[in-house]
Structure 1
Amino acid sequence: MKTFTHREKEYTFKRYPETTNRSLQAWNAGDEYVLSKLEGLDLSGKSIALYNDRFGVLATVLNENRPIVVVDRRSQLKSIEKNMELNGLKWDSTQSFSPLDELPEKVDISIIAIPKTMDLFKLYLQHASHYLADDGVVICSFMTKYFSPQMLSIAEEYFEDVDQSLALKKSRLLTLKGKKQKTSDSIIEEIPFSFDDTHQEQLQQYSGVFSSGHIDYATQFLIAHLNVSEGDKKILDMGAGNGVIARAVQIKNPTAEIHLTDDSRLAIASSKLNLASGNTHFHWNDTLDDLEKNSFDLVVSNPPFHFGHETNIEVSVQLFTEVLEVLKPGGRFICVANQHLNYKTHLNKIFTSGEVIAQNEKFILYKTIA
Structure 2
Amino acid sequence: MTETELQTPLGLLTLKRFPVRAADRLRAWDAADELLIKHLHEQQAELKDKKRVLVFDDQFGAITSFMCQMLAASGHPVSIDVITDSLVSQHAISQNVKGNGYGERDVSFIDNTAIPVKPYDLIIYKLPRNHGYFADVMQRLRSNMSDDTHIVGGVMVKYLPMTVLTTLGQIVGETTTSLATKKARLIFSHFDSSLTPTNPYPTTYTIEEIDVDLLNHSNVFSRDSLDIGTRLLLAVMPESDDLLTIVDLACGNGVVGISAAQLNPNADLIFCDESNMAVASAKANVARYFPERNAEFYQTDCLEGIAKNSVDLVLCNPPFHQQNAISEHVGWQMFKESLQCLKSGGEFWVVGNRHLDYHIKLKKLFGNATLVDSSNKFVVIKSVKR
Q: TM-score range by the shorter chain?
A: over 0.9
Q: How does 1:255-334 map to 2 (within 5 A)?
A: 255-276=266-287, 277=291, 278-334=293-349
Greater mean deviation of Cα atoms: 302-311 or 30-39? 302-311
Equivalent position of 1:213 in the other structure? 224
CA offset at residue 80 of structure 1? Answer: 1.0
Equivalent position of 2:61 in the other structure? 56
Q: Identity over the aligned pairs, expressed in percent?
A: 28
TM-score, with structure 2 as normaliser: 0.91
CA offset at residue 20 of structure 1? Answer: 5.4
Q: Which of the pair is proportionally richer in strand?
A: 1
Contact 1:19 1:314 in 2 (8 A): no
Greater mean deviation of Cα atoms: 283-292 or 256-265? 283-292
Equivalent position of 1:5 in the other structure? 7
Q: Does 1:103 align with 2:116?
A: yes
Contact 2:165 2:176 in 1 (8 A): no
CA separation of 1:242 and 1:59: change in aligned 2, threshold 3 A: same
Q: 1:38 aligns with which of 37, 40, 46?
A: 40
CA separation of 1:312 and 1:160: change in aligned 2, threshold 3 A: same
CA separation of 1:301 and 1:88: change in aligned 2, threshold 3 A: same
Contact 2:246 2:312 in 1 (8 A): yes
Deviations 1:289-311 (A, max 9, x none): 21121011100000111333321
CA offset at residue 128 of structure 1? Answer: 2.7
Equivalent position of 2:205 in the other structure? 191
CA offset at residue 208 of structure 1? Answer: 2.0
CA offset at residue 22 of structure 1? Answer: 3.8
- SS of 1:368's equivalent in the other structure is strand
CA separation in 2, counterparts of 1:332 and 1:165?
53
CA separation in 1, counterparts of 2:82 and 2:226?
30
CA offset at residue 2 of structure 1? Answer: 1.2
Q: Does 1:350 align with 2:350?
A: no
CA offset at residue 93 of structure 1? Answer: 7.8
- Which residue identity lines up with residue 110 of structure 1 in the other structure? I
Equivalent position of 1:134 in the other structure? 147
Contact 1:129 1:179 in 2 (8 A): no
Query: What is the root-mean-square deviation of aligned Cα atoms in Å?
Result: 1.7
Matched positions, count: 367
Q: 1:118 aligns with which of 112, 116, 131?
A: 131
Contact 2:139 2:197 in 1 (8 A): no
Contact 1:99 1:127 in 2 (8 A): no
Residue ranges of structure 2 left out of the alignment (5+ in a row): 72-77
CA offset at residue 8 of structure 1? Answer: 4.7
- SS of 1:107's equivalent in the other structure is coil
Runs (4+) of structure 1 moved beyond 3 Å? 19-23
Equivalent position of 1:75 in the other structure? 88
Deviations 1:46-105 (A, max 9, x none): 111111011011111111342210111111111111112322222238611022233242
CA separation of 1:136 and 1:93: change in aligned 2, threshold 3 A: closer
Equivalent position of 2:245 in the other structure? 234
CA offset at residue 150 of structure 1? Answer: 1.8
